[in-house]
């Protein structure tokens, strides 16, 4: 394994909730240049079955071992994406979510500033996930 891992980055449009202010294609292009990133894609709804299948396919075909999703609040879909990793045989803890909806597109009026902030949030998430190690799940009585 590379020291960084093999990272896939997925930028959600969240319909127009994110894409109205943030340019998902520009953010994906930026993400593709980051160390350790093997693939960066944008899709209208990453939480949908088709969005999840994009991640599954890339894990299998590109040998990803870490995933970043830039989308809505982790409270809504972090479990969704961790489950995808787990079902594909990866540690669900090799996942990082960047909130570019509530913390970015909903907080800014200027699309250029929102897109730059999304890039910064994605960059931070990629740096963070590159240091993740698998954790052991334990039951606490």
Domains of the chain as residue ranges with CATH: 7-129 (3.40.50)
pLDDT at 120: 97
Asked if residue 68 lies in contact with residue 38, where contact means CB atoms within 8 angstroms, the answer is: no
Asked if residue 77 lies in contact with residue 71, where contact means CB atoms within 8 angstroms, the answer is: yes
**What is the arithmetic mean of pLDDT over 11-33?**
95
pLDDT at 134: 80
pLDDT tens for 75-124 read 788 999 999 999 999 999 999 999 999 989 999 999 899 999 999 999 99
Measured at the CA of 16, the angle between CA 10 and CA 19, to 5 degrees, comes to 50
pLDDT at 141: 87
């Amino acid at each position: 394994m590379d020291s960084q891992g093999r990272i896939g980055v997925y930028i959600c449009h969240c319909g127009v909730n994110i894409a109205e202010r943030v340019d998902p294609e520009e953010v994906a292009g930026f993400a593709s240049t980051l160390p350790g990133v093997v693939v960066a894609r944008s899709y209208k709804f990453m939480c949908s079955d088709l969005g999840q299948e994009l991640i599954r396919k890339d894990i299998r075909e590109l040998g990803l071992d870490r995933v970043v999703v830039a989308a809505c609040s982790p409270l809504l879909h972090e479990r969704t994406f961790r489950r995808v990793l787990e079902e594909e045989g990866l540690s669900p803890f090799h996942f990082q979510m960047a909130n570019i909806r509530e913390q970015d597109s909903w907080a800014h009026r200027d699309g250029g500033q929102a897109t730059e902030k999304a890039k910064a949030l994605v960059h931070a998430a990629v740096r963070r996930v590159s240091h993740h190690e698998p954790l052991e799940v334990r039951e606490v009585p």
